[in-house]
């Protein structure tokens, strides 16, 4: 498989709060410890971040409260102005773009969903979803047609004429997602979009999010403090602490090969079966692939724990399929049981 190209690249990105922050970093050569910053009355919210987000992937940035993850995602869209570094979007350095260019990019090529839905209470669902297109100057018929398409995509076609107060929390968040997708963004930012929801609704919204991604194949930067949510959704994860990225990699990389004591502690209680993908434990196809597991197939990115329920009493093997539903391997019940027993 060809290597996915980077959609967004961060190079030595800093966000330092305090008087004279830029001058201090220029003098220090953009290399400064927390102690040095503190001695100069400065706070390093984001420190020396280097990341690449590939086209079409879900890249999760996570950490505890105060780790810098939300500040970083706002730097990436320049809602917060970085103090130093480079942010390249399709090769264009956003830090050299003027205000008009950034407004154009946010309106036409970036989508954003935040924890607080921020729906306009006096507008219907249809009007809320169409609102960004109205700001763009798109005629009413076109913007409402596109809004209806997004509302249908998130499963709220019967709620077009409802007002936000008439919707549940999960439904309001679906409206927020539909609104952010109406502009057909290339890059989609989601900052803890489900953290205010009840656990059952949150799980439902995660399922809905994965369904949408299977259809849309967006490049997504997703912020969370919940490691279970991160490993369920992410293609790759970056873990932040005190403004720095301490490790970035696939969920499997991070759980099986933690880079620091902090990451080890962060992942200590995570079941390996909830992290390891079926693709990592499948065996090669031997013989006729169509005879394996009958009609039941498991996607290669499914976790081992997620695949366990697919084995019936008489099933010993399942077909493993790629995104195009092609058989690429065989998953054996014994391998699943062994991994789950190891915890």
By CB atoms closer than 10 A (0-12, 13-18, 19+), residue 192 is buried
Domain shared by 189 and 335, yes or no: no
Q: Which of 270, 304, 324 is the last residue of a domain?
A: 270
pLDDT of residue 1: 41
Q: What is the pTM of this model?
A: 0.84
Residue 193 domain-assigned (yes or no): yes
Domain shared by 86 and 197, yes or no: yes
Domain shared by 29 and 103, yes or no: yes
CATH number at residue 337: 3.10.580.10
Domain shared by 257 and 202, yes or no: yes
Domain shared by 237 and 282, yes or no: no
Contact criterion met (CB below 8 Å) for 275 and 319: no
Domain shared by 194 and 240, yes or no: yes
The residue with tokens 């990105």 is 13
How would you write 203-251 as a 3-class SS string?
A: HHHHHHHHHHHHHHCCEEEEEECCHHHHHHHCCEEEEEECCEEEEEECH
Cβ neighbours of residue 154 closer than 8 Å, sequence gap 6 or more: 174, 175, 177, 178, 208, 212
- Torsion angles phi and psi, residue 339, rounded to 5: -65, -40
Residue 125 domain-assigned (yes or no): no
The residue with tokens 């693709």 is 279
Residue 133 domain-assigned (yes or no): no
Residue 280 domain-assigned (yes or no): yes
CA distances (Å), origin 48, targets 36, 38, 84, 140, 253:
14, 16, 9, 45, 22
Residue 310 domain-assigned (yes or no): yes
Instruction: Quote the number of domains for the chain.
Output: 2
Residue 214 domain-assigned (yes or no): yes
Domain shared by 324 and 192, yes or no: no
Supply the range of the domain harboring residue 31.
6-109+185-270
Q: What is the pLDDT along the chain (343 residues), one digit of tens a residue?
A: 445 679 999 999 999 999 999 999 888 876 788 888 999 999 999 999 999 999 999 999 998 888 999 999 999 999 999 999 999 999 999 999 999 999 999 988 998 888 777 889 999 999 999 998 998 889 999 999 999 999 998 889 999 999 999 998 888 988 998 998 888 899 999 998 888 778 888 888 888 888 888 888 899 999 998 888 898 899 999 999 999 999 999 999 998 899 999 999 888 888 888 888 898 899 988 765 555 655 678 888 888 888 888 887 667 888 898 878 888 999 998 888 888 887 6
Contact criterion met (CB below 8 Å) for 331 and 278: yes
Residue 25 domain-assigned (yes or no): yes
- Torsion angles phi and psi, residue 323, rounded to 5: -65, -20
Domain shared by 243 and 318, yes or no: no
Domain shared by 194 and 241, yes or no: yes
Q: Which of 270, 296, 327 is the last residue of a domain?
A: 270
Domain shared by 50 and 103, yes or no: yes
Domain shared by 279 and 262, yes or no: no
Domain shared by 251 and 288, yes or no: no
Residue 158 domain-assigned (yes or no): no
Q: Taking the mean position of all CA atoms in its chain, how far away is CA 196?
A: 17
């Amino acid at each position: 498989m060809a290597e996915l190209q980077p959609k967004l690249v961060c190079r030595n990105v800093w966000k330092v709060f305090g008087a004279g922050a830029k001058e201090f970093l220029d003098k220090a050569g953009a290399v400064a410890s927390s102690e040095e910053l503190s001695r100069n009355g400065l706070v390093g919210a984001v420190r020396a971040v280097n990341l690449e987000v590939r086209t079409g992937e879900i890249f999760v940035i996570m950490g505890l409260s105060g780790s810098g993850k939300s500040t970083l995602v706002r730097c990436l869209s320049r809602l917060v102005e970085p103090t130093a570094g480079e942010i390249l979007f399709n090769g264009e350095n956003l830090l050299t773009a003027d205000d008009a260019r950034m407004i154009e990019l946010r309106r036409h090529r970036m989508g954003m969903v935040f924890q607080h839905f921020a729906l306009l209470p006096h507008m219907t669902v249809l009007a809320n979803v169409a609102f960004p297109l109205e700001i763009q100057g798109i005629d009413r018929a076109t913007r409402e047609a596109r809004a209806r398409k997004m509302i249908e995509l998130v499963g709220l076609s019967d709620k077009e004429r409802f007002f936000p107060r008439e919707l549940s929390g999960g439904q309001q968040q679906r409206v927020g997602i539909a609104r952010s997708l109406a502009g057909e963004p290339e890059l989609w930012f989601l900052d803890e979009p489900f953290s205010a929801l009840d656990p059952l609704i949150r799980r439902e919204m995660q399922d809905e999010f994965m369904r949408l991604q299977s259809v849309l194949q967006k490049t997504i930067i997703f912020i969370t403090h919940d490691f279970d949510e991160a490993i369920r959704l992410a293609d790759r994860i970056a873990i932040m602490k005190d403004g720095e990225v301490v490790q970035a990699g696939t969920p499997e990389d991070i759980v099986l090969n933690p880079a620091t004591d902090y990451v080890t502690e962060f992942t200590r209680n995570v079941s390996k079966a909830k992290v390891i993908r079926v693709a990592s434990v499948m065996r090669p196809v031997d013989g006729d692939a169509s005879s394996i597991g009958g009609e039941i197939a498991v996607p290669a990115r499914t976790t081992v724990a997620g695949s366990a329920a697919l084995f019936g009493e008489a099933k010993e093997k399942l077909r493993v399929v790629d995104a195009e539903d092609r058989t690429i391997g065989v998953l054996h019940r014994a391998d699943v049981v062994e991994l789950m027993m190891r915890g």
